[in-house]
Amino acid sequence: MPSQHLPRIDADGLADLAVAAFTREVFLTPKPGLPDCRTAQTPANSVFSSLVDVGVRLHGPLRAAAAAGTDIGRLSAACRAAQDQVPHTASLHGFDAAARALCLLTAAWARGAAGTRDACTRAVALDEQVAPSGDVRDSRRLLSGRTTWDGLTATEAALSAVREARTRGVTEDTAQLDALLTLMAAMDDERVVRDKGPLALRMIQEDAATVLAAGGAGMPEGRRLLSELDEQMTRYAICPATSGALLTVVLFLDSVESRLPAAAA
C-alpha cells in the first residue's frame, strides 16, 4: 500500500465497519467447521444463537479502542470489554480473538495507518503492549506469536481472493467463502493441531486448496468439494478457529479500504 496520507474515518465510523465485519462473519454460510446460520435451529449447538447480537454489543468497546489514541490503558480496557462480550462457547471458535483483533485494528486505523499492511503491522505492535485478559488462551492473541507474519501474508492473500472473486461476478457470500478457504489453505492453525493433531491440519489445508483449484465456492465442482470438506470437518469436529477469526479481519480491512479511495489507488 502507498504511504500517502489517507482520509480519516472517525471512531464511530470505524466501530460501525468493525461491527459489520464481525456480523458478516457470524452469518456467512456454509463455513466448514465453524458456527453459521445452519446451527440456528439446532438445540445442541447454541454457539450461533449466542453470537447473533454480540456485534451490536461490541460497538462501544470498538469505538473506545478507536478513540484511545496513544493511551495503552484505555486500549487495554477496550480490548477487555470487547473480549468479555463474547460468550465462552463462542470464544472456543475464535470469536474472542476476532473481537480483540478488531479493537487493535480500529486503534491502528485511528492512529493514521497508511494502508492494510501498515494497519496490521501497527496492530501487531499494539498486541505486544495489550495483554490478554481473563482466561488466557492462544486464540486471544491472534496477532502475536510464531504465526504473526504467516497470518499477515495469509490475510493479504485472502483480501486478494475476495476481490478477485468479485471481478468474476460471484455473490458477495461466495467471494467471502473463497477468502475463508484461502485462509484455511494457508494457515498453520495451532488450535487445530492442538485439538486434533497435525494430520487434521494437513487435511483441511489440502482440501481447502483443492476447492480453490476447482474454481472456488462459485463453481459447481468447487461447491461439491466444499460440501465434502464441510461434512468431513463436521464429522471430526475440526474447527479452523484462527482462519475464522482472520476472515473477520479480512472483511474489516476490505470495508475500511472501500471507504478510503486513495488507499485503493
Q: What is the pLDDT of residues 70-110, one digit of tens each?
A: 999 999 999 999 999 998 888 888 999 999 999 999 999 99
Query: Helix (H, G, I), strand (E, B), or coil: what is residue 98?
Result: helix
Q: Which cell numbers hold the place of 40?
A: 440456528
Which of 189, 241, 191, 231 minimizes the C-alpha distance to 211?
A: 231
Tell me what the pLDDT averaged over the chain comes to: 87
Which of 86, 129, 90 minimizes the C-alpha distance to 107?
A: 129
Q: Which cell numbers hold the place of 204?
A: 483441511
The band of 215, judged by pLDDT with boundaries at 50, 70 and 90, is: very high
CA–CA dist 189, 200 (Å, integer): 10
- Is the domain spanning 11-264 CATH 1.10.4200.10? The answer is yes
pLDDT surpasses 60 at 262 = no
Domain positions in the chain are: 11-264
CA–CA dist 73, 89 (Å, integer): 28
The helix (H) or strand (E) run that includes residue 54 is helix 54-67
Instruction: For residue range 104-142, list pLDDT tens digits in order.
Output: 999 999 999 999 999 999 998 999 898 766 454 444 455
CA–CA dist 139, 132 (Å, integer): 10
- Mean pLDDT calculated for residue range 192-211: 96
- Mean pLDDT calculated for residue range 140-167: 77
